[in-house]
A = this chain, B = another copy of it.
Amino acid sequence: MKWERDGREVKKVTGFDVARRAGVSQPTVSRALRNLPGTSPETRERVLRAAAELSYIASDSARSLSTQSTRRIAVVSEELTNPYYPELVEPLRRRLAEHDLRTVVITDSEHRAVGIDVLADGSYDGVILTTCERRSSLPRDLTERGIPHVLVNRVLDVAESPSCSVDNVGGTAAIVELVADLGHRTVGAVLGPVTTSTGRERAEALRAGLRARGIRLRRDMVRRTSFGHDPGRNAAHDLLRRSDRPTAIVCGNDVIALGVLSAARERGISVPEQLTVVGFDDIPMASWPIIDLTTVRCDLDALARTAVELLHAEPARPGLAPVERRIPVSLVLRRTHGPAPA
């Protein structure tokens, strides 16, 4: 897949070409272009001009090979079509850029399995995992290879790597309080996958919270699905079909909640009069007037800042528990919640 131009193949301009043109040596070019000391102003000037004339761009492979560092961080997100993740990528990119690190997004929604071989071939100085499952071996592999990494928004069953995630327990507690205070007694839930810490933590906090308020969360009122609109919608139909249908449905995240709203709409169940729906994440969409979803917000910029901070911190030591930060959340009251119907 080499392209040609004017019939001849375009040859890459190297530091030697620049050196020849400027009448200096290649190392001098290297030093001049990076403003290292030990180059006279005139020489630097000549080099800069030659480099500009030749449109020289230093080979990243060669530099990486030589310096053993790439100044590049991989952000792994296997669910890029879930609006939450692009929203998370941007602040991460901004924060990384502040440290002069380039961001590269790696995704694979198909097999949901970006391999260690892709991440540990020396292409990246660090890895940020945003969609890691509870028992993923990726963090351990990265640790063994000495590659700096952080889990964002997810944690492992056996904490092994630094992580920062949202306060799922606190957020869910706020939801429970809201739902209980509104008088709901028949509560349903469409929660995220058991394989994810987000799905699991929110589920457990919900069960525990409701129990503490004397509300039973019946097993058959709970559905677990993947984090998507259609799965949420299907699950909600299951719950809303029944005669003793719930008056409130707590959702694993906002996208699921949107699916629940869709199901309610299809069944002619009005929200919030007949059904309360609460999400989690506060994706931008949730605040749109056509949606106006009551949900839990987390400051993604704080999450990103912490993640980048941890990436630079000391790595996990065998034996020592790794750093595990939690970002606080807050309930956002909009218009999908209301008092339980009589």
Residues of A within 8 A of B (CB): 1-6, 9-10, 12, 55, 57-62, 64-65, 68-70, 80-81, 83, 85-87, 89-90, 93-94, 97, 102-110, 116-118, 120-123, 125-126, 143-148, 229, 233, 258-259, 261-263, 265-266, 284-285, 288-291, 311-312, 315, 318
Chain B residue with the shortest CB-CB distance to A64: B61
Question: Can you give 9 contacting A-B residue pairs, CB < 8 Å?
Answer: A4-B315, A5-B315, A10-B144, A57-B121, A81-B83, A81-B90, A90-B107, A93-B108, A258-B290
| Distance from A148 Cβ to chain B, minimum over Cβ atoms (Å) | 5
Contacts of A289 in B (CB 8 A): 233, 262-263, 265-266
Check if A315 sits within 8 Å of B266, measured CB to CB.
Answer: no
Contacting residue for A80 out of B65, B68, B90, B258, CB 8 A:
B90
Partner of A284, one of B102, B123, B229, B312: B229
Contact between chains at B57 and A3 (CB < 8 Å):
no
Given A104-B105, A233-B289, A291-B290, A126 and B65 contact (CB-CB distance below 8 Å): no
Question: Is B144 a contact of A55 with CB atoms below 8 Å?
Answer: yes
Q: A3-B146, A89-B107 are in contact. List 5 more A-B contacts (CB 8 A).
A: A12-B122, A59-B122, A61-B61, A80-B80, A97-B110
**Chain B positions within 8 Å of A261 at CB level:** 290
Indicate if the CB atoms of A93 and B107 lie closer than 8 Å: yes
The verdict on A59 contacting B55 (CB below 8 Å), with A1-B126, A229-B288 known, is no
Copies of this chain, whole number: 2
Checking B2, B70, B148, B291 against A61 with a beta-carbon cut-off of 8 angstroms, the contacting residue is: B70
Chain B residues with CB under 8 Å of A70's CB are: 61
The answer to whether B3 and A147 have CB atoms under 8 Å apart is: yes
Q: Are A146 and B103 CB-contacts (below 8 A) given A57-B117, A122-B60, A290-B262?
A: no
Report B-chain residues with C-beta under 8 Å of the C-beta of A1.
69, 125-126, 148, 311-312
A309 to chain B, nearest CB (A): 12
- Give bound CA distance, A58 to B64, whole Å: 14
The distance in angstroms between the C-alpha atoms of A55 and B141, with both chains bound, is: 10
In the A-B complex, the 3 residue pairs with the smallest Cβ-Cβ separation, listed nearest first, are: A10-B146, A105-B105, A262-B289
A278 to chain B, nearest CB (A): 15
Residues of B within 8 A of A126 (CB): 1
A54 nearest CB across to chain B (Å): 11
CA–CA, A121 and B262, complex, Å: 47
Least CB distance from A111 to B in Å reads: 10
